[in-house]
Amino acid sequence: MMIGTLELRGSGYAYAWYEDDRDAPACSGLSANCDAPPVPAPDILAIRVPFGGCEFVSPALIDDNVLDRISLLVPQSPGDLTAVLHLIRCSQRWFGSCRQVAVFDTAFFAGAACESEFGSPESVYAIAPELSRELNLYRLGYEGILHEAACRHVAEQVRHAAGSLSASRILSICLEPRPEIAAVVDGRPVMVTGGVGRIGGLPGECSCGDIDPTIVLMMADGLGMSVPQIEVELGRNSGLVGLLDQATSIPDLMNSKDETTQLARAVFEYRLRQACGSAAAAMGGIDAVVFSGRYHSLGSQVTEHCLADWIKSPAFYLFDRPVGRAMASMVIHLPE
């Protein structure tokens, strides 16, 4: 079976076609516009959807009803969802006959976050629950696909290993340009650093992560900035680029010996350490740690600087597959 995957990338998209369970894609590439990818129609196509709110707690076969439901979510994530709806419509035109599935980054967390009347303690803020509902203020993370796939990978590894290994409490560290840490107990997430959108949580390459909420109000009131201006400032000009006054990647920062980068590196490592501590408390301990995302290979450095002096003897794993491969694994076993 050929499984196609599509995800937004800048103003275009990335595609990767996988044959059955093979790790390497049969073909892959980037497109800067909405031309059809130069590949035959797959048997099933997975399209990454960055936000599904509480509406989608699992992948959904795309039909008119699902498109309508995604459209209703646009006000909560206007930029991302407008672009992905366009991509879906293009893919329907290109590959009309194949089954197409929306795979949501937020679904992994939405299941646990939205199942109760008021929301789980992790998913909400300390404001009136009526207001949380009205404004859809739920913490749903933004790297759920990779967290879920990485934790499944750990579970498989443990199953195949001899002895009495247990991995019911997994610290999942997703090292992407916007890194995210989750705590997963028996396959269900109980804590995540990501917030309502993509700015909060850990500081990223260009996003500020969590800050004192008063600062946002000061930007509006004291600096006279509009909401879109603040969004750009906090989401694109902050994080490592804000601390260093120049663009850098997380690997470049972690490997830099330059004195001028030491504060940014210390900030980044410190925030990772604290998030890992929160995750450990949320789970009541840690059985395994898994690193995923495009910078997963930094796992040993993160372990050395953020974990080694306080976490004793958990098992460490790397999940080195890209998000496209993770999506392919999710949809391959979906019922007809």
d(CA 2, CA 333): 13
d(CA 20, CA 306): 37
308 binds other proteins (CB under 8 A): no
Q: Which of 284, 297, 300, 304 binds other proteins (CB under 8 A)?
A: 284
Give the containing element (helix H, strand E) for 111.
helix 107-113
Cβ proximity to other proteins, 126 vs 162, nearer residue = 126
Tell me the three state secondary structure of residue 248.
coil
251 binds other proteins (CB under 8 A): no
Cβ proximity to other proteins, 67 vs 241, nearer residue = 241
d(CA 269, CA 281): 18
d(CA 48, CA 54): 16
Decide if 163 contacts 293 (C-beta within 8 A): no
Q: Which of 12, 79, 177, 242 binds other proteins (CB under 8 A)?
A: 242
Q: Token pair of 331, please?
A: 């949809």
Q: Which of 80, 91, 108, 139 binds other proteins (CB under 8 A)?
A: 139
Dihedral angle computed from the Cα positions of residues 214, 110, 289 and 9, in that order, rounded to the nearest 10 degrees: -80
Dihedral angle computed from the Cα positions of residues 253, 258, 260 and 265, in that order, rounded to the nearest 10 degrees: 30
Cβ proximity to other proteins, 62 vs 143, nearer residue = 143
In the numeric block, the tokens 């039909």 are attached to: 63
d(CA 145, CA 330): 9
Cβ proximity to other proteins, 48 vs 265, nearer residue = 265
Nearest distance, CB of residue 116 and other proteins, angstroms = 8
Scan residues 62-121 and list those touching other proteins (CB under 8 A).
Answer: 116, 118, 121
Using the contact rule CB under 8 A, the part of the chain among 37-45, 62-70, 172-180, 275-283 near other proteins is 275-283
Cβ proximity to other proteins, 194 vs 324, nearer residue = 194
Cβ proximity to other proteins, 12 vs 242, nearer residue = 242
d(CA 256, CA 133): 44
What residues does 4 pair with on adjacent strands? 17, 45
Q: Which of 217, 249, 258, 300 binds other proteins (CB under 8 A)?
A: 217
270 binds other proteins (CB under 8 A): yes
237 binds other proteins (CB under 8 A): yes
279 binds other proteins (CB under 8 A): yes
Residues in the interface with other proteins (CB under 8 A) total 77
Give the containing element (helix H, strand E) for 172.
strand 169-174
Nearest distance, CB of residue 24 and other proteins, angstroms = 36
Using the contact rule CB under 8 A, the part of the chain among 52-60, 98-106, 191-199, 295-303 near other proteins is 191-199
Nearest distance, CB of residue 328 and other proteins, angstroms = 29
197 binds other proteins (CB under 8 A): yes
- End-to-end Cα, the chain, rounded Å: 13
**159-183 b/e (C-beta count within 10 Å ≥ 16 → b):** eeeeeeeebebbbbbbbbebbbbbb
10 binds other proteins (CB under 8 A): no
Nearest distance, CB of residue 236 and other proteins, angstroms = 10
Nearest distance, CB of residue 307 and other proteins, angstroms = 8
Q: Token pair of 226, please?
A: 């509009």
Q: Which of 30, 32, 36, 223 binds other proteins (CB under 8 A)?
A: 223
326 binds other proteins (CB under 8 A): no
227 binds other proteins (CB under 8 A): yes
36 binds other proteins (CB under 8 A): no
Backbone CA torsion sign across 176, 177, 181, 185: negative
